[in-house]
Structure 1
Amino acid sequence: MTAGASCPEGCRCISGGVYCTEGNMRPLPKSFPISTESLYLFRYNLSSILKDQFTNLPLLESLNLRGNHISNLAPQAAMKGLDSLEILDLSSNQLEIVPAECLQSLGQLRELNLQNNKILALNDDGFSGLGKLDRLYLDSNRIGYVSSKAFRNLDSLRELTLKNNLITVVPGQAIGLAKTIEILRLAGNPLNMSDLSSLRAAPTILELDLANIGRLSKRALLPLENLTNLNISNCSLARVPILRHLGTMQVLDLSWNNITTLPPEAFSTMTDLTHLRLSNINLSSIEPNAFAGLSSLQHLSLENNQLKTLPRNLFMPLRSLELLDLYNNPWSCDCRLHWLIRVRIHSTCSMTCYRCSTPANFKRTELSLAEVPIKNLSCIPPRIVSSSKDLYLSEGDPAFFNCDVSGFPIPDVEWLGPGGKPIKQTGDGRRFPSKEGTLEIFNVSRKDAGQYVCWAGNGGGNATRSFNLTVTVSTNPHSSTISNTASTSSG
């Protein structure tokens, strides 16, 4: 094919660019303007590139062959003469191997896109001669094997994407040969991610995408210390992994996991973090100091979770926060959220977006947090209005304590046993508390004797009431009494 002076029939020519798309059965033009800098043959129904099809285009910098049916590139000759080519797009074709011989002559190439082909393996020196290559895209192929020498001599490679392939082992040694790599995307591969120590061979990596890889162990990230951008969304995480060594992190994506609770100081060493995504993780509880240390955070995403309330002043450490997303959570619109209305942070939507899940009358009318009357956002502190007295029982008797409470919203009630040990809400086999404030003990024994405390709390405060249980142990011929000397107190 030779270079001509006029725009080919059926194409558009604009400022050095020649656009020939949707060719269907139309034959490839025989010539292109010699001044062509960018050539687009998108969806042109090409099945192969033969010898001399792109000769005499000395100024061509970008060649786009995306969306054809190319399965064959003539060795070497197919790209011969394209000495200025910097960008080559062969994505969405039918290639089964990397066209190594064809690529060898493209010494100026900076970007190569081989996404959405049928490539099965990356063999030794498949990209030989591409010493200036900066970006290599290999997503959505069928790659299951990566040779340890696959990226040898790619001395300028900065970005490598291998998303959605069949890779099971992190190709750390191969990646390490690309000594300048900064961005690595491995999302969507069935990787064994218990250990990432092989990536120590590539200490220049700053941005790592491991989304949707299956299961990531909580210690897997320990070998990596220089990351600034990490995506570990949809990795079957049940808790925040160990991240304290990543003090240079700027962007962290933990979305689509199953992290139900954020502990105190979960990200405290990430003082440079600017973006934190915690959406769709089934989050129901955030401890008061969970965001301590995040003084640089600008964007925080908490949408699509199970949050009902938030600790007062939760966002106080976030001095740089500009955008907050709390959308689509089942909010309890009571006094515990009164403070949130006064927080002056730009949100992805106004308070009208935050629908009330409780109280029931607000849910029925679909009130938003902004529409809740102020009086309903004021708490009535808990008060224990009636309770049982101290009990004096014989061993084997049942014990029943009652602790009636009032307050708005309805206070939570918990019980503490002797020694201040909490009694599980599910019971422990003999002792069964209820949310209504009762505590029942079957077949009391000497180890049950002591002081019991009823604790009631809501957003307005808490109240306590204590009771003594004295147990008489039958002996023969005498009997003894076991009790706790602590007296009854009230909160």
Structure 2
Amino acid sequence: MVPRLPAMNLKRLEIVGCGIGAIDQQTFDDLSENLEALHLINNSMKSIPVFGLMPKLESLNLDRNEISEVPENAFKGLPQLRHLRLQYNKICTLSNDALAETKTRLELLDLSGNCLSIIPSPILQGFERLMYMDLAENQFTEVGPLGFMQLPLLKELRLNSNRLERIAPNAFVDMPQLKTLYLRDNMLPMVDSNMIQGFKQLEVLDLSRNMLNQTPSFKEMVNLKQVRLDYNKLRVIDAYAFSANIKLELINLQNNEISKIDKNGFDSLEQLTTLLLANNSLTKLDGSIFATLPNLQNLNLHQNNISSIDNTTFATLPKLAVLDLSSNGLEHIGVGAFSKQPPTFYWLDLSNNKLKSFDKGVFDQKITNILLNGNPLVCDDKMDWFVHYMVVNQIRTSRPNEPEIKCSAPDEFAGVRLKELMIKKSSKTLTASMQRLGLDGSAQPNKNFLTNLFPGLANLGDIQNLGVAKANC
């Protein structure tokens, strides 16, 4: 029991992790006149204290206690209360009159991490000023008709990490200002497109980690900025699933089972900068699916089943900067596939594929990073042009913490680092030429001679350390 505290001119009081089990009715009497924030976090209180009159208190935080109920008129003496946090307690039910005295002034309500199993609809409706409501980490299985209504200023609603299997089409009524809706980590097999489209101001929708097998339609949701649908069971992106979302910047579809994207699946998304499609089942890419994404910068296609790409696949992406094609089983890249990329394009991940070589003309303009780890590169004459391109443009082919790329074949170059290859081949060619001229065939060309022929080699460090000795001329 906390005794009556002495008079102090305090505006904020925090008692955190002190094991307090109860608060005396008179504990705060001499502080009540000026106190604006009271935080009694991580204690052992089993009930909400009787606070008496605190005319200026705006924020009350009772997180991480053992409170099991919210009695009627518990906050009657707090006429200015705007923020109420009851996170991680043991509240499993709410009486019909709980919170009634706060409905005209509360702006934030946090009941997350409790054991509520039924949406307390009558209690939660009619908050005139409520802007943030957090009901995450409870035990809800459904949101029934009119589950949330008459919340005219609500901007953010969190229902993530529950057990939701169903949301009624008319579950949300009169919530015109909602901007952020978190529904991730539930068990939803579908959501009604009309319900989603009813949120005219919605900017962020998180439906990740559910069991969705069909993509909702987000057509013409003009304020939408982020959609997260990762870790579901989606197989197809239907035509116009995303269409005319003029502010949409990010779509996350990673870790699904997507094998098909309709030609108009991503339609007229002028501000989209990030599209994440990693860990799906795509086998081929039609360049037309990217045709109306003029500002796309980051495209992740890691771990699909794409075996080849051609010169039209990414031709319509004038702002592309980062492209991840790693772990696809990629065997062939068509000539011109990366010859007309924008100057912004600096990162191409081709690691862990089945690439053996590159046809001349696959690359033209400089791409600062072309990651090639985990490919069985055959360093024959067909690869000479690429090695020259790589050396001249100082291309990085592995991350700083990874070993440098080595050739797999032919036998004479197996195990040779890709950046050494030109030196090895130059040395071999010059030695053969010297022998034809009747010079000492055991002598090898000196460093200055090679770097004069191939200036880019000067950037590779000490050529002697690459196995080239000075000739005794």
TM-score band, normalised by shorter chain? 0.5 to 0.7
1:143 lines up with 2:164 in the alignment: yes
Q: Max radius of gyration: which structure?
A: 1
TM-score in terms of structure 1 length: 0.63
Q: Which residue of 2 aligns with 1:399?
A: none
Letter in 1 for 2:42: E
- Which residue of the other structure, out of 143, 157, 170, is the alignment partner of 1:122? 143
Secondary structure of 1:373's aligned partner: helix
Post-superposition Cα deviations, 1:217-259, rounded to whole Å, max 9, x if no partner, equal 2435456332443222222123554346234233211011123
- Which residue of the other structure, out of 359, 367, 373, is the alignment partner of 2:421? 373
1:229 lines up with 2:229 in the alignment: no
Q: Is the 8 A contact 1:128 1:152 kept in 2?
A: yes
Letter in 2 for 1:96: S
- Which residue of the other structure, out of 317, 341, 346, is the alignment partner of 2:341? 317
- Taking the aligned partners of 1:362 and 1:278, their CA distance within structure 2 comes to 35
1:188 lines up with 2:209 in the alignment: yes
Q: Which residue of 2 aligns with 1:217?
A: 236
Quote the offset at 1:88 in angstroms: 2.0
Quote the offset at 1:115 in angstroms: 1.6
Q: Is the 8 A contact 2:158 2:181 kept in 1?
A: yes
- Taking the aligned partners of 1:230 and 1:157, their CA distance within structure 2 comes to 19
Q: Is the 8 A contact 2:303 2:327 kept in 1?
A: yes
- Which residue of the other structure, out of 399, 404, 407, is the alignment partner of 1:349? 399
- Aligned residue-pair number: 373
Cα 1:295–1:200 change in 2 (3 A) is: closer
- Taking the aligned partners of 2:140 and 2:90, their CA distance within structure 1 comes to 14
Q: Is the 8 A contact 2:311 2:335 kept in 1?
A: yes
- Taking the aligned partners of 1:331 and 1:11, their CA distance within structure 2 comes to 55
Letter in 1 for 2:298: H
Secondary structure of 1:179's aligned partner: coil
Cα 1:290–1:175 change in 2 (3 A) is: closer
In structure 1, list runs of 5 or more residues that go unmatched.
381-491
- Taking the aligned partners of 2:182 and 2:398, their CA distance within structure 1 comes to 31
Q: Which residue of 2 aligns with 1:274?
A: 297
Percent of residue pairs bearing the same amino acid type = 25
TM-score in terms of structure 2 length: 0.65
- Taking the aligned partners of 1:362 and 1:106, their CA distance within structure 2 comes to 77
Q: Is the 8 A contact 2:251 2:274 kept in 1?
A: yes
Cα 1:268–1:201 change in 2 (3 A) is: closer
- Which residue of the other structure, out of 76, 81, 86, is the alignment partner of 2:102? 81
Secondary structure of 1:102's aligned partner: helix
Letter in 1 for 2:421: P
Letter in 1 for 2:200: K
Q: Is the 8 A contact 2:220 2:244 kept in 1?
A: no
- Taking the aligned partners of 2:99 and 2:403, their CA distance within structure 1 comes to 57
1:51 lines up with 2:72 in the alignment: yes
Alignment of 1:53-452 (within 5 A): 53-78=74-99, 80-81=101-102, 83-193=104-214, 196=216, 199-200=218-219, 204-222=223-241, 224-226=243-245, 227-242=248-263, 243=265, 245-248=267-270, 249-264=272-287, 267-307=290-330, 314=338, 316-321=340-345, 323-325=347-349, 329-333=373-377, 334=379, 335=383, 337-338=386-387, 339-340=389-390, 349-350=399-400, 352=402, 355-356=405-406, 358-359=408-409, 372-375=420-423
Letter in 1 for 2:125: Q
Q: Is the 8 A contact 1:291 1:318 kept in 2?
A: no
Secondary structure of 2:181's aligned partner: strand
- Taking the aligned partners of 1:377 and 1:282, their CA distance within structure 2 comes to 35
- Taking the aligned partners of 2:346 and 2:186, their CA distance within structure 1 comes to 37
Q: Is the 8 A contact 1:92 1:117 kept in 2?
A: yes
Cα 1:305–1:86 change in 2 (3 A) is: farther
Secondary structure of 1:73's aligned partner: coil
- Taking the aligned partners of 1:362 and 1:80, their CA distance within structure 2 comes to 84
Cα 1:298–1:108 change in 2 (3 A) is: farther
Post-superposition Cα deviations, 1:150-188, rounded to whole Å, max 9, x if no partner, equal 111001112222223233332123233333223323233
Q: Is the 8 A contact 1:323 1:345 kept in 2?
A: no
Quote the offset at 1:137 in angstroms: 1.5
Post-superposition Cα deviations, 1:11-61, rounded to whole Å, max 9, x if no partner, equal 799x96544332245765544975544433332122222223334444444
1:22 lines up with 2:46 in the alignment: no
Letter in 2 for 1:358: S
Deviates most, 341-350 or 92-101: 341-350
Secondary structure of 1:77's aligned partner: coil
- Taking the aligned partners of 1:147 and 1:30, their CA distance within structure 2 comes to 38
Q: Is the 8 A contact 2:240 2:266 kept in 1?
A: no
Letter in 2 for 1:155: P
Letter in 2 for 1:257: N
- Taking the aligned partners of 2:40 and 2:145, their CA distance within structure 1 comes to 35
Q: Is the 8 A contact 1:323 1:348 kept in 2?
A: no
Secondary structure of 1:136's aligned partner: strand
More strand by share: 1
More helix by share: 2
Secondary structure of 1:374's aligned partner: helix
